[in-house]
């Protein structure tokens, strides 16, 4: 996991195979289906998720509590405590209609098209053909 990644959340997890394919399974049991990893062996992994790839979604499977926020003009950075990571950083476009405060509960989903999945030692990116917007 080189420094070129920039700002990101690095979260330990496991890659598990189930009857319908590969899943990333986080420490709290949250499982994320990843067809791109169907041919990869089960193993411990690190998942790299950029703050902007967490998407606020009332029907999202990830629930957390806002522990802090920083208004940066165009964007607001939120620090959110979740069950699978002690704290994640989430970046949302700033809006006047919404005023999320410390202590508010929030639901999120992950844009799985923009994940990087690394071997536990960080030496190998396990996803081929990830869309990085380039």
Question: Domain containing 39 — which CATH number?
Answer: 2.40.50.140
Q: Residue 5 has what pLDDT?
A: 52
Q: What angle do CA 102, 104, 110 make, to 5 degrees?
A: 105
Q: Residue 6 has what pLDDT?
A: 64
Q: Residue 3 has what pLDDT?
A: 47
Q: Residue 125 has what pLDDT?
A: 92
Dist. CA 100–CA 37, nearest whole Å: 35
Q: Which residues of the chain have pLDDT under 70?
A: 1-6, 97, 128-134
First CA to last CA distance, the chain: 19
Cβ partners under 8 Å of residue 22, min gap 6? 15, 16, 33, 34, 35, 36, 37, 38, 40
The reply to whether 128 falls in a domain is no
Q: Say how many domains are in the chain.
A: 1
The reply to whether 42 falls in a domain is yes
The reply to whether 7 falls in a domain is yes
What phi and psi values does residue 10 have, to the nearest 5 degrees? -105, 115
- Give the number of C-alpha atoms closer than 13 A to the C-alpha of residue 36, restricted to the C-beta side: 15
The reply to whether 14 falls in a domain is yes
Query: Kind of pairing, strands 75-82 and 9-18?
Result: unpaired
Q: Residue 7 has what pLDDT?
A: 84
Q: Which domain holds residue 103?
A: 3-119
* Contact yes or no for 66/100 (Cβ under 8 A): yes
């Amino acid at each position: 996991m080189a420094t070129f990644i920039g700002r990101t959340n690095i979260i330990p997890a496991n890659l598990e195979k189930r009857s319908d394919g590969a899943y990333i399974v986080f420490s709290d049991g949250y499982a994320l289906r990843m067809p791109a990893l169907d041919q990869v062996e089960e193993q411990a992994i690190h998942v790299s998720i950029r703050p902007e790839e967490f998407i606020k979604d009332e029907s999202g499977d990830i629930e957390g509590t806002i522990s802090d926020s920083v208004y940066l003009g165009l964007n607001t950075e939120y620090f959110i405590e979740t069950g699978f990571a002690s704290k994640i950083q989430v970046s949302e476009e700033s809006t006047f209609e919404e005023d999320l405060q410390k202590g508010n509960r929030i639901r999120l989903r992950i844009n799985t098209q923009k994940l990087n999945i690394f071997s536990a030692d960080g030496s190998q990116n396990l996803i081929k053909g990830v869309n990085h917007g380039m």
